[in-house]
Structure 1
Amino acid sequence: MALHTLWIYAVAVFLLSATPGPNMLHVLSRSVELGIKRTVATMAGCLLGLVTLLAASAVGLGALLHALPGAFTTLRVAGAAYLLFLAVKAWRAPVREDETETQDLRPEVSWQALFRGGYAISISNPKAIVFAAAFLPQFIDPALAQVPQFAILVGVFAVIEAFWYSVYAGSGRALSRHLNRAGVKRAFNRLTGGLFAGFGLSLLAFRAT
């Protein structure tokens, strides 16, 4: 793989990863709710889920999903259902009328649960496999060994994605300072729920070609 090809890939991934999606929204909302430190577990789960999907595309799972449309539909519906569940959960999240709680009064959620939640929302997006199966091979030199090249591409993707997770987590922490009023916090929860619902419905509408 030529160095200029890798740079083009890195720039493309940087721009793609900056675009808000379910993972970024989940990291943002967790940071608002729990703070940056505890959101690290969520970010780790999201990142592992993403790497799992990229690795799956590298070993040909994307082609398998094309060959078995029923399997893709099942994964797509399951992923959409999970996103819609998160939408309802966010929309109905209780809000104290005196939203002046400190970090110590925020909900106690284990690191394991945060990690599992991040992994679940990341792995529940099968169209990422199809995207990666179409995107990654464009930067592979067929004259060279493919496995090391895929490993480099996945590694670069993971590093850039982790950077954007930290940016969104930091934004969530800054945003949390403005959500002390119950009405504002309720509006934020419902906006988050609406966005999750939008992602879920877009996943239902997606068709692998």
Structure 2
Amino acid sequence: MPLDTWLLFVVTVFFVSATPGPNMLLAMTHGIRYGVRSTLPTCLGLLTALGIVMAGSVAGLGALLATSETLFAAVKYAGAAYLVWLGVKTWRARPEALTAPAAGDARNDSAWTKFRTGFLVAMSNPKAFIFFTALFPQFMDAHAAQLPQLITLAATFYVIESGWQFVYAAGGARLGSWLSSPIRQRWVNRFAGGAFVGAGVALSGVSRNG
């Protein structure tokens, strides 16, 4: 995989993962409620589900590429369009009130309960499968070995996502307070939305050479 393609993927994923979605908000609220160390089972549950989702997406993409390069190219263009649409939607998204669940008996939740909560939250979003199927092909060369490319993309996404989950958990109440500002939420949405749109537009051109 060319270095410039990988760096573009890193930048895109950096902003995508930074956007306050269900996974990050769960990590943040558990960080507020339990502290960083006790939130690790929650993050492990989130990341386990993420690994399953990526594995399913990667398996499907591998089978697709092996079956038809033309069909794979069609998926790349459709994925680029999806990224642009997602970017516009994210850019225009209205700031939402971020509130942490009330503490109390929840502080006694077991590590398994936290893991299960994280796992179910991450697995409950079927759009994740569509997202990975749309994102990964934009950075792949159909004429090069597919497995190394898929492993590189998946591992990169996993590392960045893990880092952001830790940041949200560690930031806890401070990050929650920072994101409570509608203006700051709007800027986060615009950065992420711009990253989506930029990736979709730029990579629709790159894919013509794939």
Shared fold per TM-score greater than 0.5: yes
- Percentage of pairs with the same residue: 40
Runs (5+) with no aligned partner, structure 1: 65-89, 97-104, 179-209
Alpha-carbon offset, residue 134 of structure 1:
1.1
1:37 alignment partner in structure 2: 37
Amino acid at match of 2:162: A
Does residue 136 (structure 1) correspond to residue 136 (structure 2)? The answer is yes
Cα distance between partner residues in 2 of 1:2 and 1:13: 17
Cα distance between partner residues in 2 of 1:173 and 1:40: 16
The aligned length equals 143
TM-score (structure 1 length as normaliser): 0.62
Query: After superposition, where does 1:144-155 map in structure 2 within 5 Å?
Result: 144-155=144-155
Amino acid at match of 1:11: V
Residue 108 of structure 2 aligns to a residue whose secondary structure is coil
Cα distance between partner residues in 2 of 1:114 and 1:137: 33
Runs (5+) with no aligned partner, structure 2: 65-98, 178-210
Cα distance between partner residues in 2 of 1:142 and 1:122: 29
Which consecutive segments of 4 or more residues in structure 1 shift more than 6 A?
none
Does residue 7 (structure 1) correspond to residue 2 (structure 2)? The answer is no
* Bigger helix share: 2
CA RMSD of aligned residues (A): 2.7
Kindly indicate whether the alpha-carbon contact (under 8 Å) linking 1:32 and 1:175 is maintained by their aligned counterparts in 2: no
Query: After superposition, where does 1:1-209 map in structure 2 within 5 Å?
Result: 1-60=1-60, 107-174=107-174
TM-score (structure 2 length as normaliser): 0.61
Cα distance between partner residues in 2 of 1:150 and 1:94: 41
Alpha-carbon offset, residue 174 of structure 1:
3.8
2:180 alignment partner in structure 1: none
Kindly indicate whether the alpha-carbon contact (under 8 Å) linking 1:35 and 1:173 is maintained by their aligned counterparts in 2: no
